[in-house]
């Protein structure tokens, strides 16, 4: 079994959190946790391979984020652009800062209540 890869050079500040008593996740009537974080990835830093149990909506405030997705495709998102990370273990990904300045993200997590913001995962075996 391949083990998860650890993140390096990543820090986060929680800006706000809240819980919806009726749930806002489309497939759930249960409580939903919402958190907004400012995440900084240092040059050469990485999130490590992971997935989320709920959706993440992010805006790149500064720098350029390079993400490798579960199918080994790559998405590059620069400052002023946004992206959505879908929920589920089949959406494993890693975020990297390949640039020379910090990457700063504003990320909103919409998760089933009580779930962690991310789950570590092994690097996928891509079929190309």
Residues 85-102: tens digit of each pLDDT:
999 999 999 999 999 999
- Full-model pTM: 0.88
Band the pLDDT of 5: cuts 50, 70, 90: confident
Distance (Å, whole) CA 67 – CA 90: 15
User: Token pair of 17, please?
Assistant: 């959190």
Query: Which domains, ranges and CATH numbers included, belong to the chain?
Result: 8-116 (2.60.120.10)
Paired tokens of 93: 């990904």
**In the structure, what pLDDT confidence band is assigned to residue 128 with cuts at 50, 70 and 90?**
very low
Q: Say if residue 25's pLDDT is above 50.
A: yes
């Amino acid at each position: 079994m391949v083990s998860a890869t650890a993140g390096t050079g990543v820090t986060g500040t929680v800006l706000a959190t809240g819980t919806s008593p009726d749930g806002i996740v489309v497939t759930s009537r249960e409580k939903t946790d919402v958190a907004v974080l400012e995440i900084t990835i240092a040059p050469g830093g990485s999130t490590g391979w992971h997935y989320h149990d709920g959706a993440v909506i992010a805006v790149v405030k500064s720098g350029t984020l390079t993400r490798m997705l579960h199918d080994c495709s790559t998405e590059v998102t620069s400052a002023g652009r946004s992206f959505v990370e879908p929920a589920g273990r089949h959406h494993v990904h890693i975020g990297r800062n390949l640039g020379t300045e910090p990457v700063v993200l504003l990320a909103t997590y919409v998760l089933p209540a009580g779930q962690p913001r991310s789950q570590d995962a092994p690097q996928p075996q891509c079929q190309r």
